Chain A
């Protein structure tokens, strides 16, 4: 019985050391994402602290060898959605409507194509603050899809796990989010007179469905 008791104690210590070694290095990445989620330093710090405490408490549920960063991000996203986002439901509805309006406009005009001769001047004019502002203006689900893919380099499958949605939804959100981000940056540049108002490039209106549907269509057509 004594052995059992001391055994448990040393198991706990190992688990703490493991947590320090495996989970803690992701604290800054969690904070970066938390900042983009909450848009507030204090709330972001609280969110990270709660995420890591919860992760520590449930460390025994983490499967060694799996992606710890994705596991931590999933915990953080769950906490954020359950707590902070419920306070902002009304704002979220407005965000979503605005995003849909924007998307319809840009999908119709295909205005995110920049002629190669103006590309250099446009990209030189983009500031990190612009990117941050444009990213923060995206609805939460879109913002997270871009962050997880382009900043943290998660695969679609991992993003689907973090955001608890199908891979097809990740594809769709990511595509729309990038398009909105590009359109927003072009608007900033147009406002400064760096590029002319967005130009149509003649793309077909896009409607991202699922990769499986595309494959089925290809097989049927072949």
Chain B
């Protein structure tokens, strides 16, 4: 391959960089020199420039696709909700200074608690095991679990009519605090459109939910959400996991639904 051919190959290979002004002055000068001497490459470049000029007005059309008035209003409401500090958050701030003292007291007076990782909920969510009690009736599901577990199970009743209860089964969850501990759990599965939603219920005695601050690592994580419940929400392996306590039990709700939808859904459950 001659030097000229190599230069032509190089030019066409990097014509995009040249047109995108990504070259430094030295590279640009080298390309300009080649361009001045090579009619074929000039034709190639003209073709690329013509394409870009022709496509630009069509791309501008995409920029006119703005958020609808309704979507913008929803967004403003969501941001306003996010701004409102939760009651727990407010108290946490007011108690900011005495926290170390309280922490020592808690350590001395209260038996140690064990942690629960949302990964457990996601692992159960991803399992394809069949349900033991296939039913769309929450009462029927609650009754089935009554003589099988020692904690209260109340299958969430979602107000959204698209949420369909499919059934439930017994399972276990691992909680961790230095050593593994396994607890019996109720697993409930729902469908909403083409999304799956699963609920884990287990005895919450002595179990800590992840703290909002645990998730405060970056945009991909979660934290405490404005919600009617004291809801902890975390993003785990591309799933959203909402966690809350009710009647001595811990409930986790796992789905690939977008975070605001999942929070709204959990808030509407009873």
Contact = CB atoms under 8 A, between A and B. Distances in A.
Interface in B8-43: 8-10, 12-14, 16-17, 20, 22, 27, 30, 40, 43
Nearest to B57: A128
Nearest to B63: A32
B67 A31 contact: yes
A145 B201 CA distance: 44
Given A8-B93, A57-B223, A204-B9, A49 B59 contact: no
Given A12-B83, A55-B219, A214-B13, A128 B61 contact: yes
14 contacts: A28-B65, A28-B67, A52-B75, A53-B259, A55-B219, A74-B219, A82-B235, A83-B258, A112-B47, A123-B50, A150-B55, A201-B44, A202-B40, A208-B13
Nearest to A119: B50
Interface of B: 3, 5-6, 8-10, 12-14, 16-17, 20, 22, 27, 30, 40, 43-44, 46-47, 50-52, 54-56, 58-59, 61-63, 65-68, 71-72, 74-75, 78-79, 82-83, 85, 93-94, 96-97, 218-220, 223, 235, 238, 256, 258-261
Contacts of B258: 46-47, 49-50, 83
A56 B51 contact: no
Interface stretch (A97-105, A174-182, A190-198): A174-182
A171 B18 CA distance: 11
B218 A58 contact: yes
A49 B55 contact: no
A118 to B, nearest CB: 11
A128 B17 CA distance: 25
A53 B79 contact: yes
Contact of B82 (A47, A57, A178): A57
> Max chain B CB contacts within 10 Å: which of A8, A53, A156, A175?
A53
A45 B219 contact: no
Contacts of B79: 16, 19, 52-53, 56
B257 to A, nearest CB: 9
B166 to A, nearest CB: 19
B196 to A, nearest CB: 11
A211 interface: yes
A116 B46 contact: yes
Interface in A35-87: 35-36, 45-50, 52-58, 61, 74-75, 78-79, 82-83, 86-87
Given A50-B259, A175-B13, 11 more contacts: A35-B65, A45-B68, A46-B260, A49-B258, A53-B82, A119-B50, A155-B22, A204-B9, A208-B14, A211-B22, A221-B6
A18 interface: no
A32 B52 contact: no
Contacts of A149: 20
Contacts of A47: 258
Nearest to A130: B58
A61 B219 contact: yes
A31 B71 CA distance: 10
Nearest to B6: A221
Contacts of B93: 5, 8
B132 to A, nearest CB: 27
Contacts of A58: 218-219
Given A86-B238, A203-B12, A131 B65 contact: no
Contact of A215 (B27, B59, B78): B27
B3 to A, nearest CB: 7
B55 A131 contact: yes
> Max chain A CB contacts within 10 Å: which of B3, B65, B78, B83?
B65
Nearest to A174: B16
Contacts of B223: 57
Nearest to B40: A202
A204 B7 CA distance: 11
A78 B54 contact: no
A91 B50 CA distance: 33
A128 B65 contact: no
A141 interface: no
A28 B17 contact: no
A50 B16 contact: no
Given A83-B238, A126-B54, A5 B218 contact: no
A49 B68 CA distance: 12
B75 A49 contact: yes
Nearest to A153: B20
A156 B22 contact: yes
A113 B71 contact: no
